[in-house]
Structure 1
Amino acid sequence: MVAALVLAGTRPGGDPFAQAVGAAHKALIVIEGQTMLARVVEALRAAECAPVIVCCDEGPVADLARALGAEIVPPRSGPSGSVLAAFDQSGAPLLVTTADHALLRPEWVRELIDKAPGEADLAVMLAERARIEAAMPGSRRTYLRFADGHWSGCNLFLLRTPRARKAIETWAVVEADRKRPWKIVARLGLGNLLTYLLGRLSLADGLARLGRRFGAEIALVPASDGLAAVDVDSERDLADVTALLARRG
């Protein structure tokens, strides 16, 4: 059984996006009659993840999480600290996602779990730009440019082994520099940076090299559905996702 962690913290002073749409917290934004947090928790349960743990402060989000049958861990300093706290509580394997992943499907969760290589300590799901644009034309994502194309993160990570403790720090580094891929590659040394700048470094190879440098095996699991990279982080995202779900009935 794979445990799952939903990151549902918020920045000091509240989330401007949530405030703009009249919600007390981003996780409580309602889409087609259901909060984003409920959508995520239900998808994880449908994927047979257990237990489901929600990282959030005490308050309405924690109340909802408990009503959904989830366990609670309080946020720590930064996402990596919160993941580490949940990892200490649940152990490996632990799947990590976010409360704003309103389109999350159990098939994507199972795809990451089932396709993660056996030797990987950390598996990361990303989607190719062509798949994302085909699934949701006009969606604005942050892309990493590699030799094998442009990729965007799906907010889906699988910490597979006890060695994933080392990978948590690597994950935090990648997240901090997610909009500056050259800086991520620069951590691998001059030779790897030049390989990247010359357009010869694939995403899978870059993740593998990054993991080896930090003492963990990191593997890429490409998303078969481009929608896996679409979260709800702005009013435009909210409108796009609401329209998509309304069309699907």
Structure 2
Amino acid sequence: MTSQADKSVDAIILAGSRPEADALATRYAVTVKALVPVAGKAMLARVAQALGSHRAISKIRILAQDYKPFRRHPDTAPLAEDDTIEFVESAATIALSIDRVLQNEATTYPMLITTADNVLLDASMISDFVEAARGTDIAIAVVEKSVLLRRYPESKRTWLKLRGGHFSGANLFCFGSVRARELLGYWAEVEQDRKKGWKLLTIFGPMLLFLAITRILTVDQLATRIGKKLGLTIRVVRMTQAEACIDVDKEDDLGLAEKILRERSAQAGT
């Protein structure tokens, strides 16, 4: 398993800003959310470190509208000097930004995609997800509600309710082949409503939406149906780590993330 994974996966970190002002960035007086400090270190620096130190990850591309703030910040300035990291100017939307990277002749697969606010990302999550994503066109990480609430009952997430469980996205995606670009057109249609899981289903037709909202389909059956519609192999990866779906969107998330990071530090003796 280790030898198969060694430096075989490129990664994208989405570190851009939405058009509206971000409350956390304003609260902590930084120009972009990716620079908000979490346990004393900028979000982006944490995610880049987790990816860069993992045996499977080869090249990292950081997508943002303006990378100058990262070059000026002490936590993220070293990233610009790292030969394995490339800053890429993003397009008008996330979907267009990713598609621009995938169109590049230098792009190799599989390509792992995550976000700068996925600050609890660690080696075990990366290893589990990369291994589970093998052989797919698209893999999507999720955490089941019971897994999260067993560990962190105070955490509030947005849940997609299907037969057999409620699921929250874990901000980890894998594009296993260039064919995954087929999904990006649909992504572009719904990314402004990213908290409304049902909105994605409306664009695949009323029957699929009906089957989902009436909880006739399991999450795996839903992925299979969408995959058939697009001609893709899509796999939903259930993450065993509750922390995988805890990103930092608001102050409560930040407090919980810092608590978890302090506990990790104490366990590691650092």
TM-score (norm 2): 0.84
Q: Which residue of 2 aligns with 1:116?
A: 133
Alpha-carbon offset, residue 188 of structure 1: 3.4
Alpha-carbon offset, residue 196 of structure 1: 2.2
Alpha-carbon offset, residue 148 of structure 1: 1.5
* Cα distance in 1, alignment partners of residues 217 and 60 from structure 2: 36
Letter in 2 for 1:114: E
Alpha-carbon offset, residue 174 of structure 1: 5.9
Aligned pair count? 248
Q: Which residue of 1 aligns with 2:61?
A: 53
1:247 aligns with 2:263: yes
For residues 178 and 18 of structure 1, do their structure 2 counterparts lie closer, same or farther at Cα, with a shift above 3 Å needed?
closer
SS of residue matched to 2:257: helix
Residue pairs, 1:35-74, within 5 angstroms: 35-48=42-55, 49-56=57-64, 57-62=66-71, 64=76, 65-69=79-83, 70-74=85-89
SS of residue matched to 2:172: strand
For residues 135 and 62 of structure 1, do their structure 2 counterparts lie closer, same or farther at Cα, with a shift above 3 Å needed?
farther
Q: Which residue of 1 aligns with 2:124?
A: 107
Partners of 2:190 and 2:199 within 8 A in 1: no
* Cα distance in 2, alignment partners of residues 248 and 92 from structure 1: 32
For residues 170 and 113 of structure 1, do their structure 2 counterparts lie closer, same or farther at Cα, with a shift above 3 Å needed?
farther
* Cα distance in 1, alignment partners of residues 164 and 189 from structure 2: 22
Q: Which residue of 2 aligns with 1:215?
A: 231
Q: Which residue of 1 aligns with 2:39?
A: 32
Comparing 216-225 with 164-173, which one deviates more in the overlay?
164-173
Letter in 2 for 1:111: D
1:188 aligns with 2:204: yes
SS of residue matched to 1:163: helix
Structure 2 residues without counterparts, runs of 5 or longer: 1-7, 266-270
Partners of 2:11 and 2:112 within 8 A in 1: yes
* Cα distance in 1, alignment partners of residues 130 and 249 from structure 2: 25
**1:143-190 Cα deviation digits (max 9, x unpaired):** 100002110001100000121111333444564554434443333334
| RMSD of Structure 2 on Structure 1 (CA) | 2.0
* Cα distance in 2, alignment partners of residues 93 and 78 from structure 1: 22
Residue pairs, 1:150-161, within 5 angstroms: 150-161=166-177
Alpha-carbon offset, residue 35 of structure 1: 1.5
Partners of 2:161 and 2:213 within 8 A in 1: no
**1:26-73 Cα deviation digits (max 9, x unpaired):** 111222232211110111122231101101213122552314552011
Letter in 1 for 2:108: G
**1:73-125 Cα deviation digits (max 9, x unpaired):** 1011111111112223323221100001111112111211101252x211000
Report % sequence identity.
Answer: 32
* Cα distance in 2, alignment partners of residues 103 and 72 from structure 1: 22
Q: Which residue of 2 aligns with 1:125?
A: 141
Partners of 2:37 and 2:43 within 8 A in 1: yes
Structure 1 residues without counterparts, runs of 5 or longer: none
For residues 183 and 36 of structure 1, do their structure 2 counterparts lie closer, same or farther at Cα, with a shift above 3 Å needed?
closer
Alpha-carbon offset, residue 245 of structure 1: 1.5
Partners of 1:73 and 1:85 within 8 A in 2: no
Comparing 3-12 with 179-188, which one deviates more in the overlay?
179-188
Partners of 1:97 and 1:156 within 8 A in 2: yes
* Cα distance in 1, alignment partners of residues 249 and 81 from structure 2: 24
For residues 205 and 20 of structure 1, do their structure 2 counterparts lie closer, same or farther at Cα, with a shift above 3 Å needed?
same
**1:180-209 Cα deviation digits (max 9, x unpaired):** 344433333343333223321111111221
Q: Which residue of 2 aligns with 1:75?
A: 90
Comparing 103-112 with 24-33, which one deviates more in the overlay?
24-33
Partners of 1:55 and 1:72 within 8 A in 2: yes
Q: Which residue of 2 aligns with 1:91?
A: 108
